[in-house]
Amino acid sequence: MAKVKTGFFCQNCGYESAKWLGKCPSCNEWNTFAEEVVTREDNNNKNDWRQDNGRQKTVKAKALHEVESSREIRVSAGDQELNRVLGDGIVPGSLVLIGGEPGIGKSTLMLQVGLGMKSLRVLYVSGEESEQQIKMRADRIGHSSQNFFVLTETNTKNIFLAIDSVLPQLVIIDSIQTLYSPVMDSAAGSVGQVRQCAGEMMKFAKETGIPVFLIGHITKDGMLAGPKVLEHMVDTVLQFEGDRHLAYRILRTTKNRFGSTSEIGIYEMLGTGLREVSNPSEILISQKEGQLSGVTIGATIEGNRPLLIEIQSLVSPASYGTPQRTPTGYDQKRLNMLLAVLEKRCGFRMGTQDVFLNMAGGIKVEDPAIDLAVCISIISSMQEIPVSDKICFAAEIGLGGELRTVNKVDQRISEAEKLGFEEIYVSKFSTKSLDLKKTRIRVKAFAKLTDVFEDLFG
């Protein structure tokens, strides 16, 4: 008879304690401890994802020089945006966790990817929807495949039995918080269950070489639900972001053992599923009639991908004593610094003005290369002088009001030229290594922010 042991686990980070605590000593969160029943089994093989009929596996360490090097083979996901985010395809045996808000489109994305890989046998395990609901969604997005199998199950033991029967080449779990392992007696979704089920899936993926996608819930703070160790266990963590009131979604990498962590994929949510957006600038630059003051275009880089984004500003006299500084999609401290530079170095009285800043398209930008576009947008709104929509900007602003060079300026210029822009303003120090004879776009290089104002506004 196995001995039953009760423990207290932090629902935020997974810290285990023998008694209830008000504050977690690991993550310093309050009131996160919950009691869970943990069963200690004498049979150690029960933790294995597949029973070996009593046979013991021999374990032998290898010297590093004895390990044979092999070329990394990736499998195309049939989705160019997902391939880019993962690092040019799915790595065999990898464990990928994708999280996002409810209703953002995680299940639709994974269903679409599974149905699109027609040459592979795909097993879609759902603990949240019935087979009929999955079929209805597949009919709505208009995809079908003879190699796509559906299983509605939450017990990991039954899931592995189905895997032995179907022999899939890709497994999708929707979601990891709904799985239940008979090894533990705690409820599904608890810290212990999430850790145990993820561990079984990781062991299965590494031993068989079959990639596994886990869909995960997020908390009200926007973090992935479950213990923090869940993110350490998996190979790749993807965040599916976007405003549910807007049609566009961004797939962002926060961890990737096999590629870059700065790539993004952009989708548009339609009634027939998610559409890949191959040219992101089309959603980041709004269509409008005539020229408006306070609107400029900045050239930014996400990973290896150049994007042109529209910056919108509204500057008006402060109605109250303290002026407002309200950025959307931009760092507030960075905005305060740029306003201080405009006041100290350029002579504009920003201390009496309310400033509202918005990045069009719902994207969040951290690239300092859009500093110049932000400053021009603010002054354009303040002075009520429109800036031509055929001009874009790519330069960082220093505390002395100087224009600093940015990385990959040639890619930014090439993207602006491809989209039909006539002029681009950059730092004087960025043009030293550029061959401007081959470009059709006019590149204007300046050393100071005041020189840009004189050239633009006179």
Query: Does 105 carry a binding-site annotation?
Result: yes
- What is the pLDDT, as a whole number, of residue 1? 47
d(CA 225, CA 12): 8
pLDDT for residue 403 is more than 90: yes
Alpha carbon 320 to its chain's center: 38
Average pLDDT over residues 335-355: 94
Residues 341 and 396 sit within 8 Å (Cβ to Cβ):
no
Average pLDDT over residues 13-21: 84
Least confident residue range of 70-84, 172-186, 217-231, 264-278: 217-231
383 membership: H or E segment, kind and range: helix 371-383
Query: Does 363 carry a binding-site annotation?
Result: no
Pick from 371, 366, 374, 249: nearest CA to 302: 366
54 — pLDDT class (breaks 50, 70, 90): very low
Residues 369 and 430 sit within 8 Å (Cβ to Cβ):
no
Region 75-278: CATH code: 3.40.50.300
Please count the residues of the chain.
458
- What is the pLDDT, as a whole number, of residue 220? 67
DSSP E strands, 106-261? 122-126, 148-152, 170-174, 212-216, 236-241, 248-256
Task: List b or e across 139-169, with b for residues whose CB sees 16 or more CB atoms inside 10 angstroms.
Answer: eebebebebbbbbbbbebbebbeebeeeebb
pLDDT for residue 55 is more than 50: no
pLDDT for residue 156 is more than 80: yes
Whole-number percent of the chain with pLDDT over 90: 49
Pick from 308, 440, 329, 315: nearest CA to 383: 315
Average pLDDT over residues 240-264: 83
Residues 94 and 235 sit within 8 Å (Cβ to Cβ):
yes
d(CA 384, CA 215): 48
- What is the pLDDT, as a whole number, of residue 29? 83
- What is the pLDDT, as a whole number, of residue 67? 82
- What is the pLDDT, as a whole number, of residue 50? 59
Q: What is the CA radius of gyration of the chain?
A: 27
Neighbours of 355 (CB within 10 A): 23
Q: Give the single-character DSSP code of 405.
A: P
335 — pLDDT class (breaks 50, 70, 90): very high
Query: Does 103 carry a binding-site annotation?
Result: yes
58 or 292: which leads in pLDDT: 292
Query: Does 106 carry a binding-site annotation?
Result: yes
Least confident residue range of 4-13, 97-106, 279-288, 330-339: 279-288
Least confident residue range of 13-17, 24-28, 201-205, 408-412: 13-17
- What is the pLDDT, as a whole number, of residue 2? 55
pLDDT for residue 420 is more than 50: yes
The domain spans of the chain are 3-41, 75-278, 285-457
Query: Does 168 carry a binding-site annotation?
Result: no
Average pLDDT over residues 66-95: 86
Q: Phi then psi for 237, rounded to 5 degrees?
A: -120, 120
d(CA 197, CA 176): 7
Antiparallel, parallel or unpaired: β 305-317 and 295-302 = antiparallel
102 — pLDDT class (breaks 50, 70, 90): confident
pTM given for the model:
0.76
Residues 215, 247, 114, CA angle at the centre, nearest 5°? 35
pLDDT for residue 173 is more than 70: yes
d(CA 46, CA 48): 5
Query: Does 422 carry a binding-site annotation?
Result: no
Distances (CA, A) of 205 to 10, 44, 198, 278: 27, 20, 10, 31
Residues 431, 263, 244, CA angle at the centre, nearest 5°? 120
Query: Does 420 carry a binding-site annotation?
Result: no
- Where do runs of H (alpha helix) occur along 167-235? 191-208, 229-233
The answer for residues whose C-beta is within 8 angstroms of residue 77's C-beta and 6 or more apart is 83, 86, 89, 90, 113, 116, 117
Q: Which pair of structure tokens corresponds to residue 406?
A: 């940015």
53 — pLDDT class (breaks 50, 70, 90): very low
- Give residue for tokens 């491809």: 418
- Where do runs of H (alpha helix) occur along 398-448? 409-418
d(CA 136, CA 242): 24
Query: Does 25 carry a binding-site annotation?
Result: no
d(CA 125, CA 149): 9
Q: Which CATH number fits domain 285-457: 2.40.240.10, 3.90.226.10, 3.90.1150.10, 3.30.230.10?
A: 3.30.230.10
Q: Is 6 helix (H, G, I), strand (E, B) or coil?
A: strand
The answer for residues whose C-beta is within 8 angstroms of residue 233's C-beta and 6 or more apart is 95, 195, 198, 199, 202
295 — pLDDT class (breaks 50, 70, 90): very high
Rounded to the nearest 5 percent, the helix, strand and coil shares of the chain are 30, 30, 40
Average pLDDT over residues 276-293: 76
Q: Is 308 helix (H, G, I), strand (E, B) or coil?
A: strand
Least confident residue range of 14-18, 107-111, 363-367, 370-374: 14-18
Q: End-to-end CA distance of the chain, in Å?
A: 87
Average pLDDT over the chain, rounded to whole?
86
- What is the pLDDT, as a whole number, of residue 56? 52
Q: Is 230 helix (H, G, I), strand (E, B) or coil?
A: helix
Pick from 332, 310, 267: nearest CA to 100: 267
pLDDT for residue 57 is more than 80: no
Neighbours of 239 (CB within 10 A): 21
The answer for residues whose C-beta is within 8 angstroms of residue 314's C-beta and 6 or more apart is 294, 354, 355, 356, 381
426 membership: H or E segment, kind and range: strand 423-427
2 or 260: which leads in pLDDT: 260
